[in-house]
Amino acid sequence: MKRAYLLTTTAIVVAYLTILLIQGISEEVAMLREVAAQRTAVTRLSYCAEAISDDLPRYLRREVEREVLRSAASGDLPDPSKIDVEEWRTASSDYLTAQKVLAELDIGGASLSRSNAPEGAVVCKASLGYSLQDQVYETELQGEGAVTFVVPVRIYLMSDVASNFRWSIADKIKRAFSVNGNTSADTVRGIISETIGEYKRSCANMGLEFGVDVGMEFSSDNETTTVFVSFKDLRVTDVSPSAEILVDGKPTRVTFRMKSSNRTLVFRHN
Amino acid sequence: MSLAADVLRTAESLGYIDELARSEGDGPSSEKAMTKIASLVPTNHPFALSWLTKEGSIIEVTKSGDQANLAYIAIIITTSTQITCLALGVGG
């Protein structure tokens, strides 16, 4: 009787301990699963962060290229306030939400400046701050990074060439009249065509294509000579191999077009 | 998920994603870039690689094997005209 009691009690204790053991193991397994799931969520967040960090430069490059094309067509330098990041912010948030990731994205305004390599091209700098939260496991990932890239279209150099050309024509005509107050119309025409030739040659050496239509009117009386110079269709195109950009999927060259302008020079005879 | 993510991460580092972004509108080139990305999926793993517009229209698709049980990951790709999404599902 006593032995039977002992055996029953032992069996109950063993069964109880076994249940506790199984429960403990399954709790441990559940905990390990939870940890593994959270780790997966963190990996997923870091992957999402990497994916948006990789795409932002692609998006900004497209926007900067568009702005370079737009500003060059109107003879201006690129304006960073025209770089719109809202479309990308919305699309990225939507794309992350679809992957059950709540995103707060802070894109620091893009700044544009002159590059040294290639000389006169555009450097774009921006920043990306992000806070990503996994909507299932509520794990969070915060980070920030800088975006810097060069759009190799030498718009600053093209602008320099266009401005210098107008200044150069006026300066050479002034010098001719300072040496000889009776400089003829043919001499002035010669100066203009010679300067155009010089600019075409030096631009070709720099991988730029230069073109311009210069009109000239010359009038003279006993006291003064008036030279009226009109600059029409002054254009500089970057033809270097790296300066081709994609616009709506088509390779495009950027041409800097200066607005038409006139210059009137009056010289008093000695 | 991690296998698909690894494949897309490798594709990004090899420049295949940029190549795909630049190939938009040029069927043979985008097909070539998609094939390059798909070639990074280990052999004998079923997969589906879909390039979609923001609105969900298909630009390119390439797939192989049983499509029933794939784990997906998607990335955003800005092309010269739009913001698109590339989704890769890989099976075990």
For residue range A172-204, what is the model confidence (pLDDT) as tens digits?
A: 999 999 998 889 999 999 999 999 999 999 999
Q: List B residues 22-61 in contact with A (Cβ-Cβ < 8 A).
A: 22, 24-26, 54
Q: Please determine, for the modelled complex, whether the ipTM score is greater than 0.95.
A: no
Task: For residue B74, give the nearest of A58, A91, A99 by CB distance.
Answer: A99
- Contact list, B8 vs chain A (CB under 8 Å): 51
Separation in Å, CA A128 to CA A46, A88, A92, A206, B73: 14, 12, 12, 36, 22
Provide the pLDDT for residue A20.
Answer: 67
Give the mean model confidence (pLDDT) for residues A151-157: 96
For residue A62, the distance in angstroms to the closest alpha carbon of chain B comes to 6
Query: At residue A139, does pLDDT exceed 70?
Result: yes
Band of the pLDDT at A248, cuts 50, 70, 90? confident
* Mean predicted confidence (pLDDT) in A101-129: 94
Instruction: Check CB contact under 8 Å for B76 and A87.
Output: no
Among B12, B54, B80, select the one facing A246 at the smallest CB separation.
B80
pLDDT for the residue numbered A136: 80
pTM value? 0.82
User: What residues in A contact B77, CB-CB < 8 Å?
Assistant: 55, 58
Closest by Cβ to B80, choosing from A92, A99, A247 = A247
Tokens (6 digits) for A144: 């920030």
Task: Give the model's pLDDT for residue A9.
Answer: 77
pLDDT for the residue A23:
73
User: Region A22-45: what's the mean pLDDT?
Assistant: 69
Run of H or E including B7 = helix B2-13
Ordered DSSP codes for chain A:
-HHHHHHHHHHHHHHHHHHHHHHHHHHHHHHHHHHHHHHHHHHHHHHHHHHHHHHHHHHHHHHHHHHHHHHHHTT----GGG---HHHHHHHHHHHHHTTEEEEEEEEEEEEEEEETTEEEEEEEEEEEEEEEETTT--EEEEEEEEEEEE---HHHHHHHHHHHHHHHHHHHHHHHHH-TT--HHHHHHHHHHHHHHHHHHHHHTTEEEEEEEEEEEEE-SSEEEEEEEEEEEEEEE-SGGG-EEETTEEE--EEEEPPEEEEEEEE--
Average pLDDT over residues B48-73: 91
Mean pLDDT across A164-174: 95
Average pLDDT over chain B, rounded to an integer: 92
pLDDT at residue A32 above 70? no
Q: Which residues of A touch B (CB under 8 A)?
A: 40, 43-44, 47, 50-52, 54-55, 58-59, 62, 87-88, 91-92, 94-95, 98-99, 246-249
Q: Tell me: pLDDT of A26 over 60.
A: yes
| pLDDT reported for residue A21 | 67
Q: Would you give the distance in Å from CA A174 to the centre of its chain?
A: 41
Chain A residues inside the 8 Å CB shell of B1: 40, 43-44
Q: What would the mean pLDDT of A87-92 be, rounded to a whole number? A: 93
CB B63 within 8 A of CB B49: yes
pLDDT > 80? residue A228: yes
Residue A246 has pLDDT above 70, yes or no: yes
**What count of other Cβ atoms lies within 10 Å of the Cβ of residue A57?**
18
Q: What are phi and psi of A157, to 5 degrees?
A: -65, -40
Q: Is the pLDDT of residue B1 over 60?
A: no
Q: What pLDDT does residue A135 have?
A: 83
The model's confidence at residue A38, banded by pLDDT at 50, 70 and 90, is low
Does pLDDT of A16 surpass 90?
A: no
Please tell me the predicted confidence (pLDDT) of residue A155: 97
A16 vs A246, residue with greater confidence: A246
Weakest-pLDDT range from A38-42, A63-67, A72-76, B10-14? A38-42
Q: What confidence category does residue A95 fall into, taking pLDDT thresholds of 50, 70 and 90?
A: confident
Q: Is B24 in contact with A249 (Cβ distance < 8 A)?
A: yes
